[in-house]
Amino acid sequence: MVGKNFPVHRISVGGIQVAIWENESKEGKTFNTVTLDRRYKVGEEWKSTNSFKVNDLPKASLALQKAFEYLSLKETGAQAAQELV
């Protein structure tokens, strides 16, 4: 498992960023969660927000679709690997 403070995968579309996190349940099962934010710069400092402008919505939609695709392919690959065992 990747460190708790680092996502296992990031997807960026313009200033929109999706991070995929690997978590572990109390029972020891692994599951993923997804965060979505908009990155922007104020002077020399980068900031992020979970507030989106109307023109950000298509980028957010695309980034989330790519996250879904990544997780679906990862899950399919894990199932295929288990079938080979």
pLDDT in tens, 17-75: 999 999 999 999 999 999 999 999 999 999 999 999 999 999 999 999 999 999 999 87
The 8-class DSSP code of residue 53 comes to: -
- pLDDT at residue number 21: 97
Say if residues 16 and 38 touch (Cβ distance below 8 Å): yes
- pLDDT at residue number 76: 73
Spans of all domains in the chain: 9-80
Residue written as tokens 């960026």? Answer: 12
Kindly state the tokens that stand for 28: 């020891």
Q: Interior CA angle at 34 toward 28 and 39, to 5°?
A: 140
Backbone phi and psi for residue 63, each to the nearest 5 degrees, phi listed first: -65, -40
